[in-house]
Structures are given as structure tokens and as C-alpha cells.
Structure 1
Amino acid sequence: MSQPSTGLLATGTVWTSGSATLALAASDGTIRQQPLSLGQLVGWNLHGPRRCIGTWNGETRRQQLCPHRHPIEVDASASQCPPCQAADPGRRFARGDDLTDPRTFGLYLAWFAPGLIKVGLTAVDRGNDRLTEQAAVAFTWLAEGPLPAVRRAERLISGLGEFGESVRRDRKVSAWWHLGEPQQRIAQLRDAWHRTVPQIAGDARLTVARPRMCDLADTYGLNTRPSSPAREIGPLRVDVTLVGRISAVAGSDLILDTIAGPGLLNTRTLAGWTLTSADVRGAAAPPMRALNLVGTHEQNVPETLF
């Protein structure tokens, strides 16, 4: 099917100030945001072929669409072709190729599951957005300072072997139904803060933060134990219609309550499809398959993450 002139290209889920939206790019690269709120009924018609989303231009605040309209495998979680991946500023940042960003950066510990905590960094002016994009269930700040010093501290802490710099998606999502009580994860974070801060306190370029713990489970709808899906929504393909009510949203994952039951939707697989609004009345069941999270991980690194 050819792409309709009224359709918009899905480019991914974006978190801003504790709220998730689906970013949709018009043909000129301008972005519209569709809210992804708890309890919201959403509906999309998918039009193809699925193609590379290009790169985000932070200066113009527009999506630089892929000039080659490179096709993307329908079930891939990566939604950029190799040339756009190479040009993506966020990927260069993640590789450590660029330490020239003049902003102040914060170093944090993020909790994802009992005993599973990671260290990371983000620009201070982004607030909590980096944490919600990763689906961190709770977090605390460690320090702030210029990017080279914060990056050095991040690598020092991860090099000690207790806290890594990344967490696989399968481990994040699988933990949603075994989070325990909020006070338990806060206690784990507080203990981790007290063990970690002495390792970086001697760096004069860093300002150590006080131990302030933040829990995000309510933001995602995870404190009320969302429906536990045995299936995921997919594979997505041309002419599929997705309709469901959002019962949980964390990072790039949604749990949609559909007429076929609850299903997990990885919105990374939605990126690259052209979407039009679907009639939510009397919608057909979306494609479903057995849920298998083993080994799944996150591949996209949008510029705004940092």
C-alpha cells in the first residue's frame, strides 16, 4: 500500500516532564506529539513500507528524514539505516565520541528490579526525562558537573563492577510484576548512594548531590500491578490496525488492553510506520504472539536521551 498523504511517520516514544508521547513526523520534518496516557484509548492504522526514521536535529527541532527512504525490517527494534545511525548525534554521544557539550550534567543511580541498579548520566536541564525514557522505576542523583568529569565518574563507578551502564529490556519488563514495596527499592538506592559517593567525592569538578530518592512506579502505572500479558503485539505489518487502552507505559513499552486481551507493545517496532487514526469502535484484534523477552535489548539512542 502507498503511504497516504494524511499519514505521519512514527519516530518513537518521547518522555517530557513525566508524560509520554508518540512522536510523529510530517513530510517536512515537523513533529507532532500524540499523548500516551494511562487509561487512554489509542488507535492507529499502519501504512508501509516501514522505513528509516532519519535523525533528530536538535537545533531546528525537526526530524531530518532519511534521504534514501531506506526500508527497515518489519520486526526490527532498530529504526534507522546504517548511514543515519552513523550520522546520529545521540549515537556518537553514547559511544563517548563527543565530550564538548557545554551543559551541566548529572550522574545518577537508577533502580529497575530488586538488586538491579545502573549508573548513568544526563544533562541537568532535561530533569527526569532520561530516567523515564529508560523506564527506571526509582532513582537518585549522585553528583553534577561538566560532561568530561561526569563521564569519568560514570566509568569509574561502572568499573568497580557493582553497577553497570546499561540494563537489557527483558530484565526491565520482566521485573514489572515483581517490584516489591516502594520502601524496599528506596532503601536499596539509599544504601547504594552511600557506598558510591565516596568513590567520586574527591573530584573537585563535581558537586555531590544529597541523597534524594525518587520513585516513578506510579508514573508508569506499575504500582497498581498492570495486566500481566502472556502475549506481545506483533509482528506489525502493512494494513494492521492497533486499538487498545493503555494500562501501563514505561520507557518505550506499552501494555494495551485490546479485545483480544492485554498485549505488550514495544513502540520501537512502531517507529518507521506511517500512521493514520483508526476508528476505535469495533476494531479487529491486533496481531498477537507468545511473549518472549529473553535477550531483547534497546538499540535506538535518540539525541534527546542525554
Structure 2
Amino acid sequence: MGWQCTGLRWPDAQGSPVLGWRRGGAVRVSALSYGTELGFRAVGERCCVGARGNACPVKAVVSGRSAGARCPECARLDRAHSVAADTIADDPRTYRVYLAWFGPGMVKVGITAEEREAARLREQGAVVFSWLGRGPLMAARRTEELLRSALGVPDRIPYARKRAVRAVLPGVAERRAEVAQLYARAAALEGAGWPDSLERLPFEAVDHAGLFGLDGAVEVAWAVTELVDGGVVAGRLVAAAGPDLHLETVKDGVVVLDTRLMTGWELAGADARAGVGVPVTDIGGGGVQGGLF
């Protein structure tokens, strides 16, 4: 049995991202650094990763295009214990409300447990963010809903939109200014539906562009849509944001790999100069590649 990838993680605000691995009961991580050459090959079939730390009882085969890598039953069990799915209303922890910026016109509101600090923002690939408030779960939820309805701020932005703008981000001042403007509009809602139990936090923009390696990043050409048995993904790591690795390949420019597509696969090493041999889609404007390189 080979090692299975458990995805990309961001352990702290200053450290490098890491890839998690599991083989049976053993776990490990491998730190990533920009400029490093990577290469791997998918082996066999993609299997369900289970739910809540438990293995899938039937080891179900799942679609290569699924970001969740779970069979329907394990997906149901995982969602049954999810704050994001509004299935937990009595969580006693303190939560924070945040505003996150991913590109021009792409700002969202969300909540995260205070104990996680800003890990959730790094996991989503937020280029800039600011805290807005802190308090009990339901107060944080009500504030999130208030901003969505009163200001038209979404609570989700598709990853495809985030990826499309990373190579053409505006300067630091401009992107921080957009978050500051939304923060001011949100703060003005105090007294107009803002929960009394939610403490407003001062504006402080945190910029992740340097951490993600996006300052001066080259334009992305392709995005991997799925892995296949025997398919290779290889290149030099030039950036990483959220779950995505940006790999500069020998022949095909920069390819984005959503590491959630790696979960559930057994992965073997491959030549780092082998390029990409899995289905991809064009996100650089040159037309769609539907097959394999």
C-alpha cells in the first residue's frame, strides 16, 4: 500500500505550506518551498477518504473530478458535523467574522473558530483579509447573514474565479483599500441588526501575497481537472494559494493543481521534468484542452 495525499495545509502565517500524507495508520507531512521541483504519478483507483477521521467502510471508488473525494454516505456523515453546513448550533467556542479579498470585486464574508486563528483564510487562498468581529457562533452567523443581505456580500467565491486573477493582482495599497471600504460599510451597520453579543474588532489588513508566492507570479495557462491512473503531474513550484499548487512545466507554462484532487489516490514519484499527462482545462485564454498532454 502506497502513501495517499491528504491535501495542502497552511500550519502558520509565516511557515511554508505542507502536503499531508497517510498510509494505513501512519501520517506524515512534507514541507514545500518555492523553486522546488515536484513530480508524482497516480496509481490504481481513487478511493473514498472516509469521514471525520474514519476510513470508508466499503472503500468506495470515487470520481476523479470530485474535490471532496467522498462517497455519498461518507459525505453525508461529514456534513452532519459541520459548522459550515449549519448542522451545529450549540458550539460553545468563540468565533470570528472576517472579510476576505481574492481579487478585484471578489470580497466575501465568513466565520471561523477563533482558536484556528487565520488558518481558514490561508486554506481558502484569501490574498487579503481583515477581522470584523468576534463572539458566539450564532451571533457570528447572524452577522454573516446581515452582511450578505444588507451589503450583497457573498459567503462563497468559486475557486475558478480566484485562480483566474492571481497573475494580475493589483498592488498592495489597492487591494487593501477594497477591504477597508467594505469594512467601513459593515461597521456602519452596528445598531441596525448587528448582534449585541458580537464584539467589533478594529480594521487590520493582512496580506498573504508574499506567503503565497504571488508577488510577480507568472500567468497561469492551465488547470488540472482530474487525475487518472498512470497520469503524471510534474513541474517547478512557483506559488501556492489555498489548496492550489502553481507548477511551472517544461513545455506547457504554469499549471494549477487543486490538491483536493490528489486525495484518495495512491501516488508514486515521477520525473519532475515529465510535464503534465492528465486532463486539464485552459484558464489562460488559449482554448480548452479536453484530453491529455
What's the TM-score once normalised by structure 2's chain length? 0.88
How far apart are 1:234 and its partner, in Å?
5.4
Residue type matched to 1:71 in 2? V
| In 1: Cα distance, 2:91 partner to 2:81 partner | 14
CA separation of 1:255/1:110 partners in 2, compared to 1, >3 Å: closer, same or farther? same
Gaps of 5+ in 2: 286-293
Which residue among 268, 271, 285 is the counterpart of 1:276?
268
Q: Distance in 1 between matches of 2:213 and 2:260?
A: 20
Tell me which residue corresponds to 1:169. 159
Stretch moving more, 7-16 or 148-157? 7-16
CA distance 1:186–1:171, change in 2 (3 Å): same
* 1:76 aligned onto 2:73: no
Between the aligned partners of 2:189 and 2:72, the Cα distance in structure 1 is 38
* Alignment RMSD: 2.1
Deviation at 1:174, TM superposition (A): 0.9
Matched, 1:120 2:95: no
Unpaired stretches in structure 1, ≥5 consecutive residues:
57-62, 295-306
Task: Compute the displacement of 1:47 (Å).
Answer: 1.3
Asked whether the equivalents of residues 17 and 127 of structure 1 are also in contact (C-alpha less than 8 Å), the reply is no
Q: CA deviation at 1:39?
A: 1.9
Match of 1:221 in 2: 213
Whether the aligned pair in 2 keeps the contact of 1:170 and 1:293 (CA below 8 Å) is: no
Q: Which residue of 1 aligns with 2:35?
A: 39
SS in 2 for 1:204: coil
What is the aligned counterpart of 1:130 among 101, 104, 120? Answer: 120
CA distance in 1, matches of 2:144, 2:226: 37
CA contact (8 A) 1:153 1:200 kept: no
Instruction: Give the TM-score of the pair, scaled to structure 1.
Output: 0.84
- Whether the 8 Å contact between 1:36 and 1:249 is mirrored in structure 2 is no
* Equivalent position of 1:25 in the other structure: 22
Match of residue 44 from structure 2: 48
Shift of 1:279: 4.9
1:230 lines up with 2:225 in the alignment: no
Give the deviation of 1:241 after TM superposition.
3.0
Q: Which amino acid aligns with 2:126?
A: A
Query: When the two structures are aligned, how many residues end up with a matched partner?
Result: 279
Determine the C-alpha separation between the residues in 1 that align with 2:223 and 2:165: 16
In the other structure, the counterpart of 1:204 is: 196
The corresponding residue for 2:290 is none
Aligned to 1:187: 177
- Residue 12, structure 1, aligned to residue 3, structure 2: no
Give how far 1:114 is off: 1.2
Aligned-partner Cα distance in 1 for 2:213–2:98:
23
Tell me whether 1:265 sits opposite 2:257 in the alignment.
Answer: yes
1:291 shift after superposition: 1.5
Q: CA deviation at 1:161?
A: 4.2
Percent identity among equivalent residues? 31
